Structure 1
């Protein structure tokens, strides 16, 4: 099975292995998912809890059980007619440490390593100290201090006969060209003889083979004689005294790496990182040999039928995502005849859609999570909540303005090296032509910085060095913003950079930067696309490099193929390579900048309503209408009907049910504003270093740094507590309250550091952080149970029923909208999780298995606080998907009209496949309609509100899969209508079908 009906995402690690997943398989099957969707299975850094720091693409992680356990799981799945989708990380690998053989080989042999072109290393750094070297920014303090402390030590691995430098867990091999001198320091006759076999070595491949043979002899000596003689060499490089320390320093200076303080990475790192994480190095998967090495294992597992599909992590980090998807698709097709399943992790900006020319099933579902999240919010709450946030925080900026400030800061403080790489690539182009040689590096750098700061999407996807019309939609917005921000003296450089970044095809002419018409650009784009197709055809056969470099071709390459991949060596081809390189570096700058500035900074600074501060969402896009939601669903049904539909992921900022509850605040904005002010006043005595009047009581705003946690952090803390407080948690249960407080404290520390306002990851203000934690623990302390804790729980109880309505609506929409619903582990019950690692906590599957039965969801509503009703809705609708797979995955999508006095509080649509229909109806914005603590609108409150059935839809004997009731339409005004007072009498949601359960 390769086309999933529904997936369930599992986070694997050493405490939850393939065999642990296998033990829960009966439950997963009973729940109704068709595929397990696993976090990365390749070998990661030891102890990794997520698997995204791969160190060996070729081996299934032994910590997760190894390949034998993976195959046991796959066999058991297939025996149940289920399948397996795995997460793959082609963009980056874990480096540092001592476990990545590719990286260690680079450190040992430098640019002549067999793996030197597997990573995006700039071997031609403008810094002479880094030319031909790899920066290793892993030292905890400055190099000189760490050297003097003795924490940088020369060691010897007897099993490998290898000298290496060790710093903590980090290992850096010494190049064998230095072994002769090292061995001679031992003053040992046998080692002197062995030293001769290392003399005269270079780093060339032939000499690497010589070195391997010499090391074999050294290994034999050590096995026979021990390491006593070698120990003398190590002592001669000890850091304990100035003489030996200087010798160690000189040895290190000759290596192909440079050990450095971790803070240097921001400015000097000369290899592409994953975002700003120096423990993850970018992989050049665009090269054919690297692609094959990265995918060797998963392709073999796919060919063997072990796995059925792939989720591609961080697609925007790749040099050419389109080409990558095409190559991957072709490789999968060549292995198994039936269609393969590929989804990509892609963050789409407001108004952006996944490109049609990517041969994938769609995204991993952040776009749907945004669509359904916005639907839950009442647009009437946007303005008053913004006013409240301004009053409390003293800031009236939009999220876009906050994000722009964050971009400026992140670019300067965290991605300076990446900006430098892109600017230097463009400056090299300038130096190629007399007409542009006077554009200085500084002017190009200023221009690129402004373009990146104002870029409205993660990146563009040019073909063969040229932007498409779709690319220009976004690039032109950045271009205009940069033009307004830059001084007039920089505008000529801006126009030239625009040309080099794909506005026109490069040529060998004057290079004056004149911008062609859009029609001319279209002609250039067509030519470029044809050239790209020829290149990609060669790549599919395994002989071309999409990076524009000349790869090693297989013997017997035909002349035609050789021409396709290696066009004549003209100035145009050279310029095209340079332009493609610059575009790649620019795109690999804008993507991490967008992520770090928005997701990892601005979303922690802007606090109007945290339920809209989510990965893939834009808080300025506060709410969407039912019409907007229908339009998004219809578009997905036409373009990517098998895309994943997610509402919770391993990367979400807060759980799906926490967001659903917080969305209720948009319906009661004035009440929430008053509550915030009351709580701020109530908890003022618990603040640290409070020297300012309370903003809640006086309207004055405390200045930054005057008290902890400060108005912004305090306001977002209250939202977090409201969102994550379990509905069954009693304030008298001190142990559970303390457990929750510790979880929130972990979130708070991350939120404060990510916001980068009064503390951050690079230079944390530990005193401020401690004060913030003390404030949190104080307001949740047992002695506050009759004060703030009572107020908090009373408010949560007030909005929790409306939050549960939102949860059930969100759940039904995910399971019935066009696409493939994805369940994140454990979220079939309440998901009040916070940002990772909280959202990756262990799951009690036994509890969930015990709760699952065949009862109708409506029968469980009375006890909704245990979330069994949510689980039952999931199971019932997955059963419907199993009964009629095409109906809800690919069936036609029909928005339905809702009439009557409460029409604004309902949403409805129909799905049709052949003669099979499903009608989906849900309650929205229910806070004003609910009475009591049951998440159900009293039937009489619906009055005349009704859903109009489309022509052709059966009107009688419709089975409600959620209540087991039989519903019949009423004829009214020549239409068949379903009155909500009838249809929604048992649950706030209904799914009616002319197909009854088996």
Structure 2
């Protein structure tokens, strides 16, 4: 396997194509990247800006340049000794426009259960709702069905190019089943159309009849070309929605189709196919089926076999029915296509204490776990309690994130994922009905139990094998059981215990529960029937376990990342994908433990601090983390700013100014507090209060974030039922507080505060960057984040990147040379370039080297993290400043900072550098490995060559003289 040294994530779309990436290959190579890491390259819905709404797995996206351009890009990469990794989306496909661009989806809408692709999608063809049996719910209407039909917005259409009838609604085109064409053509009462109708007479939906239907449609197409549309217009008029009689004909035609058009609001309660989370334009596919697996990966396998790509990233692994089996099958197939082991990483959200499974043959995760670890490391644990208390006092909401999470889970289960909960509960209920002892367990009681388990489930899902949960599963399942026991009534406890067993507890059950009903009653069936009954029972349990897992995963994602994280504002730097905002900080020892575990189990996992899905840019989070060190001051600042801007508050039903004593106002205390945090976090380092154009541009970006944040919180407004008056009032408040007339008021205070914490934020950013580049794993660089990344949630974090500017900023000198001008971000770019050069010079050291945590002692030991990497006789020692506010002199010195050190710091404490004055470190030192005591070391990121004392101590006053970080290697290693 060619393990990447480092990767660069690129988001491809029609605005940034394979040819665009090709134009920057020399920059990527000069930066030191070994592999490009591409967003999905398969054909997505037209205009897709992300590629996760695949509509054709077999073709490279033409909008991105097509297969020829992709191969040209790969060839150029290979010429430069680089490679290509692509994102694969095996869980779902795009079906927007009722699948107008998705041939698989259109086929099942046309032929229903007899479609060649009917089992490709996870459709419940046996819905308990008679109106949906054998049909697919299409919740695409903007208003109730009857209203839209009466308004004439649903119509019968004819496509002369294909000879097909469709039901049209806006951009949606739903195919009419050819079985109905004979009746349709006869309604016009024309001899020529009646003759054509004969071609369709006797058709059924059976697969054997579908080729004849295609031939008949070809004849209809040829007829339309020869005679024009006029004859067909007679057919369309007999189903025109404007007249009550013909509208009834249209309705009756719709009732006969294999789809049911419905108001979009019905999706949460009635959708009978698995979606990606709660998104009704993304339909889940059954990749666990061999024929679907082959179809989904046909292009990927061909590109890998041809040497075009070198590895894959698997999107949303937890959406799959059998992640372990999927990974095993994928690795086996890829290994058969080419010599060497393929590089495979999976997108997996891991909770604290949850490990990636050993029996998944992958190289690790895509790095959210590392992003969580390094992000928590930046926070001062002493800020947790006061910030939580301040948040509760200001917002009136709970101080504990767990409370918000549970409320969000219940809301998602009730309002957004009710259909998915119903489907899982029905599967359990079917098992209950098969046994005498449980046949009286009602559907409603089972639904309550399953709902409570899902509401309290602390991780994405379980991974049972052979119908049983593992010990690792039970660690988290027991927590869900405890939560359910506390909230369910005693009458439901027996149901809970039984559901626990069916979900794989392995608890002993009475024989009457283990035996199918057909084996009881004194009749002994044939051996074959007994085996079949047991197999049926086992299959039913596996179905229940799969449906439960495919319920808890979207509940976790939508409740935590997309709801609770927008409601809870203790400190937004901890509200990130893959993180638990309830976990405020991580100690140095805990961070080391995570790195050691990663090095031992998945040494080639990705390391990320920014992604296409992040809520806030890596440097936004790094700056906001500084607030944990000045919790009391920040809390006072929040209150002062709120008081200052009180005259600008709006009525929630409009943009009129309200009285200061009004209790209900826009944006409201919680949203206002989050807004101030966001402004502090994303404010560009060089933006001043009198830069009207710059502030106006930032205001538009923040307004876009604010709208998304308010809707995701689902409190005063949401995506399904937006309160536009409230949203407009919130926007007006934002634009008002950033208006030019505030330059001597709020804007001046905001700029001053950002300047006040800016240096500490930059120190955090450099610490975070060096840890990503030097820790065990494969560092990934998200596009454009070589410079400061003050982006917000998508689409802000997917804006165009000026790679030419970044290429022009590359320089062959150490990062310390750019520290004085740190605001322009060149120091960060230089750190990235320099460290990737070290990875190229000593590839084994940072890819396979042993990870050794190093002890730190002295007055400020808690403000340092240090470790060594060793491979053979090669060493690198990494040292980084952390929790730097007191030492930078930008806050009141805490009690443990010596007064003399404060005085001796001199003017440097007031300087503009994100660097601790060396004297402030006092006796703080790193305990170096014995092997390095006598060796000459130099700093890879500065001109320093600090000396290790004979007692094995390396003093920070010597090591961190010109940078807040150091990477010490032996003299003799060629400098980049």
Q: Classify the TM-score, shorter chain.
A: over 0.9
Tell me: CA distance 1:866–1:714, structure 2 relative to 1, closer, same or farther (3 Å). same
Match of 1:684 in 2: 646
Match of 1:869 in 2: 827
Offset of residue 853 of structure 1: 1.1
Offset of residue 2 of structure 1: 3.1
Offset of residue 397 of structure 1: 3.6
Give unmatched runs, 5+ long, in structure 1. 515-565, 692-696
Is 2:321 aligned against 1:293?
A: no
Q: Structure 2 matches for 1:292-691, cutoff 5 A?
A: 292-504=294-506, 509-511=511-513, 569-689=531-651
The answer (yes or no) to whether the contact 2:925–2:956 under 8 Å persists in 1 is yes
The answer (yes or no) to whether the contact 1:44–1:61 under 8 Å persists in 2 is yes
Is 2:975 aligned against 1:997?
A: yes
**Residues in 2 aligned to 1:509 and 1:109: alpha-carbon distance in whole angstroms:** 44
Report the more deviating stretch, 568-577 or 830-839.
Answer: 568-577
Equivalent residue for 1:772, pick from 727, 730, 734: 730
Equivalent residue for 1:949, pick from 921, 925, 928: 928
Is 2:27 aligned against 1:27?
A: yes
Match of 2:905 in 1: none
**Residues in 1 aligned to 2:251 and 2:397: alpha-carbon distance in whole angstroms:** 51
**Residues in 2 aligned to 1:507 and 1:219: alpha-carbon distance in whole angstroms:** 63
Q: Structure 2 matches for 1:177-188, cutoff 5 A?
A: 177-188=179-190
The answer (yes or no) to whether the contact 1:690–1:708 under 8 Å persists in 2 is yes
Match of 1:146 in 2: 148
Match of 1:54 in 2: 54
**Residues in 2 aligned to 1:441 and 1:814: alpha-carbon distance in whole angstroms:** 50
**Residues in 1 aligned to 2:953 and 2:5: alpha-carbon distance in whole angstroms:** 30
Tell me: CA distance 1:361–1:569, structure 2 relative to 1, closer, same or farther (3 Å). same
Instruction: Count the aligned residue pairs.
Output: 935
Q: Secondary structure at the match of 1:965?
A: coil
Match of 1:958 in 2: 937
Match of 1:755 in 2: 713
Tell me: CA distance 1:181–1:316, structure 2 relative to 1, closer, same or farther (3 Å). same
The answer (yes or no) to whether the contact 1:267–1:416 under 8 Å persists in 2 is yes
Tell me: CA distance 1:771–1:940, structure 2 relative to 1, closer, same or farther (3 Å). same
Report the more deviating stretch, 252-261 or 163-172.
Answer: 163-172
Tell me: CA distance 1:367–1:331, structure 2 relative to 1, closer, same or farther (3 Å). same
Is 2:823 aligned against 1:821?
A: no
The answer (yes or no) to whether the contact 2:178–2:213 under 8 Å persists in 1 is yes
Q: Secondary structure at the match of 1:971?
A: coil
Q: Secondary structure at the match of 1:670?
A: helix
The answer (yes or no) to whether the contact 2:77–2:84 under 8 Å persists in 1 is yes
Match of 1:190 in 2: 192
Offset of residue 185 of structure 1: 1.9
The answer (yes or no) to whether the contact 1:496–1:512 under 8 Å persists in 2 is no
Offset of residue 568 of structure 1: 8.7
Equivalent residue for 1:284, pick from 277, 281, 286: 286
The answer (yes or no) to whether the contact 2:933–2:949 under 8 Å persists in 1 is no
**Residues in 2 aligned to 1:316 and 1:115: alpha-carbon distance in whole angstroms:** 23
Q: Secondary structure at the match of 2:930?
A: coil
Match of 1:212 in 2: 214
Q: Secondary structure at the match of 2:968?
A: strand
Q: Structure 2 matches for 1:967-982, cutoff 5 A?
A: 967-972=946-951, 976-982=952-958
Match of 1:544 in 2: none
Offset of residue 968 of structure 1: 2.4
**Residues in 1 aligned to 2:510 and 2:72: alpha-carbon distance in whole angstroms:** 59
Q: Secondary structure at the match of 1:86?
A: strand
The answer (yes or no) to whether the contact 2:652–2:725 under 8 Å persists in 1 is no
**Residues in 1 aligned to 2:584 and 2:514: alpha-carbon distance in whole angstroms:** 44
Q: Secondary structure at the match of 2:887?
A: coil
Give unmatched runs, 5+ long, in structure 2. 517-527, 654-658, 889-908
Offset of residue 220 of structure 1: 2.4
Offset of residue 909 of structure 1: 0.1
The answer (yes or no) to whether the contact 1:956–1:967 under 8 Å persists in 2 is no
Equivalent residue for 2:235, pick from 225, 233, 236: 233
Match of 1:262 in 2: 264
**Residues in 2 aligned to 1:957 and 1:215: alpha-carbon distance in whole angstroms:** 81
The answer (yes or no) to whether the contact 2:391–2:399 under 8 Å persists in 1 is no
Tell me: CA distance 1:479–1:198, structure 2 relative to 1, closer, same or farther (3 Å). same
Tell me: CA distance 1:773–1:837, structure 2 relative to 1, closer, same or farther (3 Å). same
Equivalent residue for 2:853, pick from 876, 889, 895: 895
1:900-937 superposed Cα distances (whole Å, 9 cap, x missing partner): 11111111000011111000000000011112221000
Is 2:963 aligned against 1:983?
A: no
Offset of residue 955 of structure 1: 4.0
Match of 2:864 in 1: 906
**Residues in 2 aligned to 1:848 and 1:801: alpha-carbon distance in whole angstroms:** 22
Match of 1:794 in 2: 752
Match of 1:522 in 2: none
Offset of residue 569 of structure 1: 4.5
The answer (yes or no) to whether the contact 1:24–1:845 under 8 Å persists in 2 is yes
**Residues in 2 aligned to 1:397 and 1:728: alpha-carbon distance in whole angstroms:** 34
Offset of residue 512 of structure 1: 7.3
**Residues in 2 aligned to 1:2 and 1:269: alpha-carbon distance in whole angstroms:** 44
Tell me: CA distance 1:214–1:396, structure 2 relative to 1, closer, same or farther (3 Å). closer
Question: Deviation above 6 Å: which 4+ runs of structure 1?
Answer: 505-508
Equivalent residue for 1:221, pick from 220, 223, 226: 223
The answer (yes or no) to whether the contact 2:650–2:729 under 8 Å persists in 1 is yes
Offset of residue 222 of structure 1: 2.2
Equivalent residue for 1:935, pick from 914, 917, 934: 914
Match of 1:807 in 2: 765
Match of 1:552 in 2: none
**Residues in 1 aligned to 2:565 and 2:462: alpha-carbon distance in whole angstroms:** 23
Q: Secondary structure at the match of 2:953?
A: strand
Q: Structure 2 matches for 1:733-748, cutoff 5 A?
A: 733-748=691-706
Q: Secondary structure at the match of 2:96?
A: coil
**Residues in 1 aligned to 2:186 and 2:388: alpha-carbon distance in whole angstroms:** 73
The answer (yes or no) to whether the contact 1:505–1:576 under 8 Å persists in 2 is no
Offset of residue 96 of structure 1: 3.1
1:482-515 superposed Cα distances (whole Å, 9 cap, x missing partner): 111100111111111111111238999411799x
**Residues in 1 aligned to 2:290 and 2:943: alpha-carbon distance in whole angstroms:** 56
Q: Secondary structure at the match of 1:503?
A: coil
Offset of residue 216 of structure 1: 2.3
Q: Secondary structure at the match of 1:910?
A: strand
Q: TM-score, normalised by structure 1?
A: 0.92
Q: TM-score, normalised by structure 2?
A: 0.94
Offset of residue 477 of structure 1: 1.0
Aligned-residue RMSD, C-alpha: 1.7
Equivalent residue for 2:683, pick from 690, 707, 725: 725
The answer (yes or no) to whether the contact 1:955–1:968 under 8 Å persists in 2 is no
Q: Structure 2 matches for 1:701-712, cutoff 5 A?
A: 703=663, 706-712=664-670
**Residues in 2 aligned to 1:568 and 1:981: alpha-carbon distance in whole angstroms:** 78
Match of 1:554 in 2: none
Q: Secondary structure at the match of 1:580?
A: helix
Q: Secondary structure at the match of 1:300?
A: helix
Match of 1:199 in 2: 201
Match of 1:70 in 2: 70
Q: Secondary structure at the match of 1:484?
A: helix
The answer (yes or no) to whether the contact 1:86–1:309 under 8 Å persists in 2 is yes
**Residues in 2 aligned to 1:612 and 1:866: alpha-carbon distance in whole angstroms:** 26
**Residues in 2 aligned to 1:629 and 1:331: alpha-carbon distance in whole angstroms:** 36
Tell me: CA distance 1:163–1:568, structure 2 relative to 1, closer, same or farther (3 Å). farther
